[in-house]
Amino acid sequence: MRIGFIGLGSMGSAMAANLVKAGHEVTVWNRSPEAARALAGATAAASPADCFKGEAVCTMLADDAAVRSVILDSGALDAAAPGLVHVMMATISIPLVEELAARHARAGIGYVAAPVFGRPPAAAAAQLNIVAAGDPAARARVQPVLDALGTKTWPLGDEPTRANAAKLAGNMMIAQAIEAMAEATALTESYGVTAADFLDIVTNTLFASPSYKSYGAHIAKGSYEPAGFKLRLGLKDVRLALDAAAAKGATLPAAAVVRDALVEGVEGGLGEHDWSALAEVAHRRAGLKG
């Protein structure tokens, strides 16, 4: 397939490379053109609109502002080729998903929400888990694209907001898991049990799951760089989850606690660190850090 790919950060660059490896004809665009030129086997586009000229385009951008700027304000959507399917893989707000779906429908362009679960190593190994929602015909057309990027696609029906709601809920749960480990190790270290010793126990017994093991390893080592997922982006996602819940009249008390800790982390200079640096916030609160 002729595929455009927009957004070549730590996740996007690995994903686009896997599309090239799968034999697709890939055109890429990134705000920093060096990243586009460096992607072997892909064609660097001069503008986002150039990526909307094929059969499908994937976008992996940081937040609502980036999506609005690159996809809508740039005129890229207006320049889309007839029959194109846009695969939105970013974690964005529910209102923006609704707006994008409506704008694409008016333009006669397919829109599939397909955010992913997985860190950069999983992206590089094409082992992402992808939650996808949108028009069934559009999803079927881009399934070969999703197959090149992940181990499984989890279909959630024809309403794009469902995929993004699931992604926000999943990221909220990861943030809560990190906060749980952060607080637990603050307790154990107060009594002389190191984070490494405690987390070795619980991540191999009570909480032997990928998120606990992966982020627990960072906390055990006290190492939060390079960031697999930046703390400031975690704050963005938890805020989006709280906003999505509020729109339905629901409250998320635990998520609100994690949001406050993430805010404290950003204000304390940890925004560019991996979001497992929430442990630093909990340990400072416990008087274990200066």
pLDDT of residue 139: 98
Q: Give strand pairing partners of 26.
A: 3
Instruction: Give the SS3 label for residue 13.
Output: helix
In degrees and rounded to multiples of 5, residue 116 shows phi and psi of -125, 150
- pLDDT value at 284 more than 80: yes
Query: Do 223 and 196 form a contact (C-beta atoms < 8 A)?
Result: no
Q: What is the CATH number of domain 2-158?
A: 3.40.50.720
- pLDDT value at 151 more than 80: yes
Nearest to 11 by CA among 121, 127, 146: 121
What is the architecture, at CATH level 2, of domain 165-285? Orthogonal Bundle (1.10)
pLDDT of residue 164: 98
In degrees and rounded to multiples of 5, residue 251 shows phi and psi of -120, 150
Query: Do 96 and 64 form a contact (C-beta atoms < 8 A)?
Result: yes
> Quick count: other Cβ atoms within 10 Å of Cβ 176?
17
Q: How many CA atoms lie within 13 A of 2 on its CB side?
A: 10
**Length reported for the chain:** 290
Nearest to 276 by CA among 221, 226, 240, 231: 231
- Ramachandran assignment for 222, one of left (phi > 0), alpha (psi -120 to 50 degrees), beta (any other): left
pLDDT digits (tens, 9 = 90+) for 52-62: 999 999 999 99
pLDDT digits (tens, 9 = 90+) for 152-204: 999 999 999 999 999 999 999 999 999 999 999 999 999 999 999 999 999 99
Q: How far out from the chain centre does Cα 191 lie?
A: 36
pLDDT of residue 177: 98
pLDDT of residue 290: 61
pLDDT of residue 289: 78
Query: Do 283 and 189 form a contact (C-beta atoms < 8 A)?
Result: yes
Q: How far out from the chain centre does Cα 245 lie?
A: 19
pTM (2 d.p.): 0.95
Domain boundaries, the chain: 2-158, 165-285
Query: Do 148 and 18 form a contact (C-beta atoms < 8 A)?
Result: yes
Mean pLDDT of all residues in the chain? Answer: 97
Kindly list the catalytic residues.
167
Same fold, 2-158 and 165-285: no
Nearest to 255 by CA among 276, 233, 238: 238
Q: What angle do CA 166, 172, 175 make, to 5 degrees?
A: 145
pLDDT of residue 240: 98
pLDDT digits (tens, 9 = 90+) for 59-94: 999 999 999 999 999 999 999 999 999 999 999 999
The token duo for 186 is 């603050």
Nearest to 119 by CA among 128, 108, 107: 128
Query: Do 5 and 42 form a contact (C-beta atoms < 8 A)?
Result: yes
* Antiparallel, parallel or unpaired: β 128-134 and 116-117: antiparallel
- pLDDT value at 215 more than 80: yes
The whole-angstrom separation of Cα 104 and Cα 111 is 6
- pLDDT value at 5 more than 70: yes
pLDDT digits (tens, 9 = 90+) for 13-58: 999 999 999 999 999 999 999 999 999 999 999 999 999 999 999 9
In the block, which residue shows the tokens 């749960």?
173
- For the residues 116-137, what does the mean pLDDT come to? 97
254 membership: H or E segment, kind and range: helix 253-267
